[in-house]
Structure 1
Amino acid sequence: MQEVSLKNRTIFITGASRGIGREIALRCAREGANIVIAAKSDEPHPKLPGTIHSVAEEVVEAGGQALAIKVDVRDEESVKAAVAKAAEHFGGIDVVINNAGAISLTPVEVTPVKKYDLMNQINSRAVFVCSQAALPWLKKSEFGGHIINLSPPLNLDEKWLKPYAPYTLSKYGMTLLTLGMSGEFQRYGIAVNSLWPRTTIATAALNNVGDSSLNDRSRTPAIMADAAREILVTPDLALTGQTLLDEDLLRERGHTEFDHYAYNPEKADQLFPDLFL
């Protein structure tokens, strides 16, 4: 199976101003891709690093082309406008990576309705909105369109439902859309997959739901970026409708060394499994 180059492919990434989204942007940029950094962070945050503009500069430095667009994935019109602007700027869209996310690890009893709505809007609903908005351009992609949703395999064990069903619902909704869109869009030559980390990933989001000590037992976002790249260079619908784990996919593709992904190399053998596994 011959890989498809990422050079000149236009990749629309939500939530790309930091964390996993930023890392995927830079990984693809190193192969000459056009990166659309679509996120809300157009001004510096007092506690969180990165804006759409700083990532755009990094993308160019890495060897790609960049377009920074402020977008709220909860707003259908904002998404439509961002997708249209990206397609006009680069001449189309080849990939959508639904990376933007919201998390609250709380049970039904104490989860405010506003938080419930926020998670479902930014997680599952945004996959629907962004994928639908980009579909006309994905259909036309000369490379074969791709959608990647950062969502987990479906695991109905009660331990993933009882403690935080609202969040679980919003993430599993993303995965159900993966499975449904894969079947629906196959006739257009568009591959749709979910990607999830086998271990926790050291990001600001992780620190918000835990504490910084968990970083030492986590991997860096680079492993997710490398795994996303493996999906995108797979041609001709050879990989679609799958709920993939980063490490497993990389092993299947011949990668054998993983210690360099550890946030703290001294604790590479003490990694903490991510949710839903």
Structure 2
Amino acid sequence: MNPDNKEVCLIIGASRGIGRQVAIDLAKHGYFVVIAAKTTSDASAIPASSFPPDPNSSESTINTVAREITEAGGSALALPVDVRDVDNVKDLVDEVVRRLGRLDVLIYNSGAIWWSAVETTPVKRFMLLQQVNPQGLYAAVSAALPHFGKQGWKGRIIVVSPPIYSRFFRGKTAYAIGKVGMSVLTKGLAMDFVRQGRKDMAITSIWPAVSIESAATQESVKRDPELLKDLRKPTIYSDAILAMLQSPAEEVNGLLDLDEDFLRKKGVTDFSRYSLMPDSERPPRRIMPARFPVLEVAEQDDEGRRVDSVVLRQGKEKSGAAGGGSKL
């Protein structure tokens, strides 16, 4: 299935919008891309005159994205997944390795959105947000780590989650709990990689500095066409992710950054090509702060005796077995 033994990138949440663009651009750069999401279709039934479908519509599915890539000469595989189902996520990751022989990059782009105050966010909606966002990511990472280990701990993980700052919580607390939790996973797993000496592993979070064209923003533009001036093409996101993947692991491990800001660090100065209206009298409005708080504290390396719950539980189980007591 992967005769050229290309590096394999699994993108969860790649049926349309940003995820689709990332898949297409990574395939152009030589990756064998696995497109995973819930939305499927019979892409072969779409006539050439109507292909490809609107990338921000429900007509764009994992199958149409795979067809786009393969017809352009790239390598792609479409596999369905429901990120709310932990077992289904594990089966997806295992199937990728079984069929393609390797896993080099995991990108988690799936996301549920609900922006409203706590009092207008039902518990069921809150639970859905947590299932799709932090739980889905955690399940994917948990399933991927054993495969990275078998490959000598060489791999990259890219997470779509924001830098951590106070304004992000405003008016969308339930959503922020999950998204910030995803960024906490990025920070925590990065620390694990460092502590365990896994120098060729890196996990990085990326977030847009300016709103990007998507199904959600299309609805806003229909109500106010002037908003087009404040939108960018999703290619800025794929360019930033490619730059992250091409950077040394130690440079990006644990990094929470914005697409524009990271590209600037890599020498990009002209962002007009990403604007939907490049001839506008002003650049698109930045929606993110210019600077973010530093999370590290002076005593971070002096945390006292490290506690590992797995070790504690194993010790209690051995003690219980020796003494005839019940296990925890």
Once residues 35 and 183 of structure 2 are traced to their aligned partners in structure 1, the CA distance between those partners, rounded to angstroms, is: 23
The alignment's C-alpha RMSD in Å is: 2.2
1:114-164 superposed Cα distances (whole Å, 9 cap, x missing partner):
21111111111111111111111223447931111111100024xx32411
Structure with larger Rg: 2
Once residues 122 and 218 of structure 1 are traced to their aligned partners in structure 2, the CA distance between those partners, rounded to angstroms, is: 25
Larger RCO: Structure 1 or Structure 2 (Cα < 8 Å, ≥ 6 residues apart)?
A: 1
Once residues 152 and 244 of structure 2 are traced to their aligned partners in structure 1, the CA distance between those partners, rounded to angstroms, is: 17
Q: 2:132: which partner in 1? A: 122
Question: Once the 2 structures are TM-superposed, how far is the Cα of residue 41 of structure 1 from its aligned partner?
Answer: 0.6
Question: Once the 2 structures are TM-superposed, how far is the Cα of residue 276 of structure 1 from its aligned partner?
Answer: 6.9
Alignment counterpart, residue 15 of structure 2, candidates 14, 17, 21: 17
Code of the aligned partner of 2:158:
I
Q: 1:43: which partner in 2? A: 41
Once residues 140 and 59 of structure 1 are traced to their aligned partners in structure 2, the CA distance between those partners, rounded to angstroms, is: 29
Determine if contact 2:272/2:283 at 8 Å carries over to the other structure: no
Gaps of 5+ in 2: 43-52, 291-328
Once residues 142 and 35 of structure 1 are traced to their aligned partners in structure 2, the CA distance between those partners, rounded to angstroms, is: 21
Question: Once the 2 structures are TM-superposed, how far is the Cα of residue 185 of structure 1 from its aligned partner?
Answer: 2.8
Structure 1 counterpart SS, 2:251: coil
1:242/1:164 CA distance change after superposition, 3 Å: same
1:165/1:62 CA distance change after superposition, 3 Å: same
Determine if contact 2:38/2:82 at 8 Å carries over to the other structure: yes
Question: Once the 2 structures are TM-superposed, how far is the Cα of residue 268 of structure 1 from its aligned partner?
Answer: 7.1
Once residues 276 and 71 of structure 1 are traced to their aligned partners in structure 2, the CA distance between those partners, rounded to angstroms, is: 34
Q: 1:31: which partner in 2? A: 29
- 1:78-93 equivalences in 2 (<5 Å): 78-93=88-103
Structure 2 counterpart SS, 1:265: coil
User: TM-score when scaled to structure 1?
Assistant: 0.89
Structure 2 residue 120 is matched with structure 1 residue 107: no
Percent of aligned pairs with the same amino acid = 37
1:137/1:218 CA distance change after superposition, 3 Å: same
Once residues 287 and 192 of structure 2 are traced to their aligned partners in structure 1, the CA distance between those partners, rounded to angstroms, is: 29
Structure 1 counterpart SS, 2:128: helix
- 1:259-270 equivalences in 2 (<5 Å): 259-267=272-280, 269-270=282-283
Structure 2 counterpart SS, 1:79: helix
1:189-236 superposed Cα distances (whole Å, 9 cap, x missing partner):
31001001110001013345x444334311010000000001111234
Q: 2:293: which partner in 1? A: none
Code of the aligned partner of 2:248:
P
- 1:232-271 equivalences in 2 (<5 Å): 232-267=245-280, 269-271=282-284
Q: How many pairs were matched up? A: 268
